[in-house]
Amino acid sequence: MRNYIRYLVGLFSIFLFFCILPTPTNAANGNTLANSYAPEETAVFLDGNIKVLKQKTYLADDNNLYVPVKLLNDLDNIKVNYSNNISISSTKGSFILDKSNSQIYQNTTYISLKKFLSITGYSAKHISKGFSVFIWTNKDGQTKSNKIINNFTKIPEGVKYYLGSKVFMYDTNKTGWVIDLKYSGYLTYVTILLNDGKIIEDTILDSEPYSFCHFSQYELIKSGFKGKYYWANSNRLPSSSPLHNIEKVYFTSLDLKDGNLVIKANRANGNKVTLKLPLHGYPSTDIHDFFYFSNPKNSYPNWSKKVWDNIANNRIFIGMTTEQVLMSWGNPNDISTYRSSLATTDLWSYEYDYLYFYNGILDSISTF
């Protein structure tokens, strides 16, 4: 269940990242790509090797792929002239690009994949679930492409969207691109091409990577959570954290560095604090696990000052409800429940303490 929740958190992070992208405003009516809502970035593999360009390839709302003309620059037997109108010569003939067969998006000229193939004579296959398109120039390139595609068909659904994606490695602080995925048993083996040219192998258990994340998630962590107030959950934070339970803090910056989520925050007393939270999955999971996004007191306005004072100091007393104990001490190690026609009795066990609840109210405490 926890892995599933983290998977959903990861998907939500990616969804949120694309939702906050600015809507293009430089498009003329009928310009399909520029008028699309948050066009879907798509990785390009040429002859089985990923092509990393500053200009991205996108899937538009009309379900057509659009590739940047600059993808043609380094291809054999193809010449591109960027004088007045863009002219292209290849073994398939000569072509002039104009408003009828190209479009401008984010200051880059784009053509449809269909147009690209007609100019080059190449073949291609779009893997929509993998956010990737495979283009090959010859038989050997087709073989290499099909090998990756065949591996892709065997991997779990929850990790397919990593193919071709840009990722951030926690321990080395490096970025790279996923160039292959292979599934065996419970593990998905991930091949990553780092930005320094080195190729490394990593693994994903079920659907959750523990040593890297989508680069979009990395960017979201740095920009999407800072400049806001949060309330500490000291029961979940590491014991080294100086924050009190439900203490209000203001995040001034967040970063991923050396395997940690590094949060710099201002405390309510004006002091500054830096928290280093070890990463064990999606980076936003730590924030959701260790902090409340709104003041808990607003959710329980009828709780007394005595209750809140004890919760803030991680104390409990006879008469507290199960919800109040959970907020003060966190989840117990084990729960045993006994029901009868007259009452429900719960036994919660912590490391050295046993709490007895009668109909949801703390009735007695035993310490061993």
The CATH number fitting domain 216-297, selected from 3.30.1150, 1.10.3470, 2.60.120, 2.30.30: 2.30.30
pLDDT in tens, 282-330: 889 989 999 999 999 999 999 999 999 999 999 999 999 999 999 999 9
pLDDT in tens, 326-346: 999 999 999 999 998 889 999
Give pLDDT, residue 29.
Answer: 41
Least confident of 81-85, 114-118, 237-241, 322-326: 81-85
Arithmetic mean of pLDDT, 19-39: 60
CATH fold of 300-367 reads Beta-lactamase Inhibitory Protein; Chain:B, domain 1 (3.30.1450)
Give pLDDT, residue 322.
Answer: 96
Domain ranges of the chain: 31-153, 216-297, 300-367
Same fold, 216-297 and 300-367: no
Q: Hey, CA dihedral for 140, 141, 142, 146, is it positive or negative?
A: positive
Give the percent of the chain with pLDDT over 70: 92
At residue 16, does pLDDT exceed 50? no
At residue 204, does pLDDT exceed 70? yes
Give pLDDT, residue 280.
Answer: 82
Give pLDDT, residue 18.
Answer: 43
